[in-house]
Amino acid sequence: MSAGVETGAGLYRGYSPALDNRRRKLPVMLQLAPESRYPAAFEDGLKVLNWLAKQANLAECSKSMGVGGGSHGGGGGGGGEFNKDNHRHIVDSFGASVVEPWLASHGDPTRCVLLGVSCGANIADYVARKAVEGGKLFDPVKVVAQVLMYPFFVGSVPTRSEIKLANSYFYDKAMCMLAWKLFLPENEFSLDHPAANPLVSGRSPPLKSMPPTLTVVAEHDWMRDRAIAYSEELRRVNVDAPVLEYKDAVHEFATLDVLLKSPQAQVCAEDIAIWAKKYISLRGHEFSY
């Protein structure tokens, strides 16, 4: 099974959206503002890739140093359980946490899909960028795709939806501006901050290097047009970057507890699964950097 990483916490303390519990995932607990402002939560997301890489490498060391049934006998041919004594020795030597047995047995770090919900989508996109920039630094972890669910993108030049839907239900402009003011350091506050605006100049790596990116938007989400614009820019440089738009839907329509069983939420979950399957299950769709 592929490894999945999901970020879904709010930018600031007091907001905690529910996550779709039908997906197999590795949820990430993030530091929240105003106690921990940018870049704390973004760096937390990146630490997960480092943790996955460390887990994969420790698991490989454990297997090579002492699994039952190796070439010296002890249980007949290949495979087997971890040798607990050798496993403990590796952990002590590296000063690392214990190898997660489920990940060691079932996870495939070479096919990692990032999924971010709301402002978690901003974090997922940041982590994807850093994974591309880092290259072999995170081996054997490879980010093969990302899913951005109604990202929290903004900018100084308003889009059509930001004007038309400024007073939209659930998340209006005033609430979003407050969130960014609480999240960004006071001396860095700008709607064109790289954490907020995905299309601001000077961001790296080049868009053409980004992994396949699925974006989910809601008809009545005032931030939708900027998310769509980001997808359009990715497609211009031949990145697989489709947009799934859901009618009569609001921000977080597929992840809030009270809406999880709605037809739109159910369809959205299936749509995401179908798209992501190309990159975690079917050969011939591999993305590399």
Q: Which residue has the higher pLDDT, 204 or 156?
A: 156
CATH number of domain containing 235: 3.40.50.1820
Question: What is the predicted pLDDT for the residue at 66?
Answer: 58
* Catalytic pick among 2, 62, 87, 118: 118
Alpha-carbon gap, residue 190 to 180, rounded angstroms: 9
Quick check: 37 pLDDT over 60? yes
Q: Decide if pLDDT at 262 tops 60.
A: yes
Domain holding 262, by residue range, is: 2-38+114-280
- Does 100 fall in a domain? no
Domain annotation covers residue 77: no
Residue 17 confidence class, pLDDT cut points 50, 70, 90: very low
- Kindly list the strands in the beta sheet with 243-246, ordered across the sheet, starting from the edge strand earlier in the chain: 26-28, 2-7, 108-117, 143-149, 213-218, 243-246
14 found inside a domain: yes
Closest among 286, 285, 253 to 271, alpha carbons compared: 253
pLDDT for 73:
42
Lowest-pLDDT range, 7-11, 108-112, 193-197, 268-272? 7-11
Per-residue H/E/C for the chain: CEEEEEECCCCECCCCCCCCCCCCCEEECCCCECCCCCCHHHHHHHHHHHHHHHHHHHHHHHHHHHECCECCECCCCCCCCECHHHHHHHHHHHCCCCCCHHHHHHCEEEEEEEEEECHHHHHHHHHHHHHHHHHHHHCCCCEEEEEEECCCCCCCCCCHHHHHCCCCCCCCHHHHHHHHHHHCCHHHCCCCCCCCCCCCCCCCCCHHHCCCEEEEEECCCCCHHHHHHHHHHHHHCCCCCCEEEECCCCCCCCCCHHHCCCHHHHHHHHHHHHHHHHHHCCCCCCCCC
Average pLDDT of span 55-64: 80
- Which pLDDT belongs to residue 139? 92
Residue 171: both structure tokens together: 């998340």
In a domain, 88, yes or no: no
Cα-based distances in Å from 19 to 7, 127, 238: 9, 19, 31
Q: In this predicted structure, what is the pLDDT of residue 100?
A: 78
Is 120 inside a domain boundary? yes
CA distances from 139 to 191, 205, 250, 270 (A): 34, 18, 38, 30
Distance of CA 238 to the CA centre of its chain: 21
Active-site residue, 251 included: yes
Q: Which of 131-135, 201-205, 268-272 has the lowest mean pLDDT?
A: 201-205
Q: How is residue 254 written in tokens?
A: 């597929």
Does residue 184 form part of some domain? Answer: yes
pTM of the model: 0.81
Residue bearing tokens 């698991």: 59
Which one-letter amino acid corresponds to residue 233?
E
Q: Does a structural domain hold residue 75? A: no
* Residue 135 · residue 211 · CB < 8 Å: no
Residue 108: active-site member: no
82 phi and psi angles, rounded to 5 deg = -60, 140
> Which entry of 87, 221, 225, 231 is annotated as an active-site residue?
221
User: What pLDDT sits at residue 78?
Assistant: 42
Mean pLDDT, range 202-227, rounded to an integer: 96
pLDDT, the chain, mean: 82
Structurally, the chain folds into a number of domains equal to: 1
Cβ-contact 81, 68 below 8 angstroms: yes
In-domain check, residue 48 = no
* b (16+ CB within 10 A) / e for 57-67: bbbebbbeebb
